[in-house]
């Protein structure tokens, strides 16, 4: 091996290790910032080289786009599973430690939702818009708070992280709302935590008598044939909490809708309720 060859080999090795260092980053940073994995191709000063580089960079960029999509999909599924298998306060701390994970979760969530023929949020938005704009609404687990932007009503929007002044960051089992202060409580695909009955207790606390509780949940979570909860058990437990079941809409392919109204007469002491377990909704790799 000549001296020049030896030097060039050494340079290449050094280059590789430098690149490796650059790629070290947290999952959140990688996906949230749409992690630009940079590929540098060094070219000597020849003109035909530029067309080679163009086609190389075209195919490498589509390859990288695919890899980026795969990575974000993987992080989304990881965060999603975490949210379905921990309590609300654990979820709050999880995002406090790394708020960028929230954006990763929501880009994955939007991607999944884009495959649903009907969005449950749209049905709820229409339900609200068909009623008086004077009704005060609370959106528990509001995500990007689209609901609040789509109705004339006063909406309190809660989620674990707030990237928007309209959203209040908190664990929704413990909101800053006054007791008996709202007319409509919405949970749209947000009964995620293992302590979901606490969220419904909080809704019961903040709702006025005869106030509405609207719940949209993923259908598979309520399929007893595949380990999901029996929807009748869920309705029974919610009624024991202090609600009357008004309507159920199971016509949609992807989600169920439950409409409850808070009973005028509440039990003086909260009863011991045996809630069914809601199966986590784990999204498939696409
Ligand atoms: N309702 C919105 C977002 C659904 S995704 C929509 O239909 O588009 C579920 C949302 O619930 C997520 O944004 C998640 O952060 C939120 N969430 C889950 N557990 C929560 C909790 N304990 N407190 C507040 N928000 C919660």
Closest residue by CA, ligand 1 atom 10: 141
Q: Is residue 141 within 6 Å of ligand 1 at its C-beta?
A: yes
Tell me the per-residue pLDDT of 172-214, one tens digit each, with 9 for 90 and over: 999 999 999 999 999 999 999 999 999 999 999 999 999 999 9
Ligand 1 centroid from CA 123, angstroms:
17
Closest residue by CA, ligand 1 atom 16: 141
Give the atom of ligand 1 at the shortest distance from the alpha carbon of 171: 23
Residue 53: pLDDT band (50, 70, 90) is low
Paired tokens of 108:
């994955």
| Residue keyed to tokens 């707030």 | 162
Q: Is residue 121 within 6 Å of ligand 1 at its C-beta?
A: yes
What pLDDT is attached to residue 114? 93
What mean pLDDT do residues 58-83 have? 81
What distance in Å separates the CA atoms of residue 153 and residue 184, rounded to the nearest whole number?
Answer: 10
3-state secondary structure (DSSP) of residue 188: strand
Nearest to 217 by CA among 141, 136, 107, 131: 141
Q: Is residue 281 within 6 Å of ligand 1 at its C-beta?
A: no
What distance in Å separates the CA atoms of residue 48 and residue 35, rounded to the nearest whole number?
Answer: 30
Closest residue by CA, ligand 1 atom 11: 141
Paired tokens of 5:
């060859």
H/E element, 104: helix 100-113
Q: Is residue 159 within 6 Å of ligand 1 at its C-beta?
A: yes
Ligand 1 centroid from CA 108, angstroms:
13
Q: Is residue 190 within 6 Å of ligand 1 at its C-beta?
A: yes
Q: Taking the mean position of all CA atoms in its chain, how far away is CA 142?
A: 9
Tell me the per-residue pLDDT of 114-132, one tens digit each, with 9 for 90 and over: 999 999 999 999 999 999 9
Residue 40: pLDDT band (50, 70, 90) is very low
Give the atom of ligand 1 at the shortest distance from the alpha carbon of 173: 22
In order of 23, 188, 220, the CA distances from 282 in angstroms are 29, 17, 10
Which of 79, 160, 168, 202 has the most ligand 1 atoms within 8 A of CB, as the residue to mutate? Answer: 160
Which of 83, 98, 111, 141 has the most ligand 1 atoms within 8 A of CB, as the residue to mutate? Answer: 141
């Amino acid at each position: 091996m000549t001296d020049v060859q030896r030097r060039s080999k050494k340079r290449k090795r050094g280059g590789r290790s430098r690149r490796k260092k650059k790629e070290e980053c947290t999952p959140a940073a990688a996906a949230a910032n749409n992690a630009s994995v940079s590929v540098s191709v060094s070219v000597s000063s020849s003109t035909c080289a530029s067309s080679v580089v163009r086609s190389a960079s075209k195919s490498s960029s589509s390859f990288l786009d695919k890899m980026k999509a795969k990575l974000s999909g993987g992080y989304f599924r990881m965060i999603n599973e975490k949210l379905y298998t921990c309590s609300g306060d654990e979820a709050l701390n999880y995002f406090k430690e790394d708020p960028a994970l929230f954006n990763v979760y929501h880009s994955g969530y939007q991607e999944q939702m884009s495959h649903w023929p009907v969005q449950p949020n749209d049905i709820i938005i229409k339900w609200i818009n068909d009623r008086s704009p004077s009704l005060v609404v609370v959106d528990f687990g509001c995500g990007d708070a689209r609901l609040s932007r789509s109705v004339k009503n006063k909406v309190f929007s809660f989620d674990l992280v707030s990237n928007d002044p309209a959203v209040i960051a908190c664990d929704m089992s413990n909101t800053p709302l006054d007791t008996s202060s709202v007319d409509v409580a919405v949970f749209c695909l947000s009964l995620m935590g293992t302590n979901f009955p606490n969220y419904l207790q909080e809704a019961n606390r903040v709702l006025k008598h005869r106030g509405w509780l609207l719940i949209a949940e993923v259908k598979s979570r309520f399929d007893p044939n595949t380990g999901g909860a029996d929807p009748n058990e869920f309705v029974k437990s919610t009624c024991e909490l202090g609600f009357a079941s008004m309507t159920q809409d199971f016509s949609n392919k992807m989600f169920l809708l439950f409409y409850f109204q808070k009973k005028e007469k509440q039990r003086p002491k909260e009863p011991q309720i045996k809630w069914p377990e809601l199966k986590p909704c784990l999204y498939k790799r696409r």
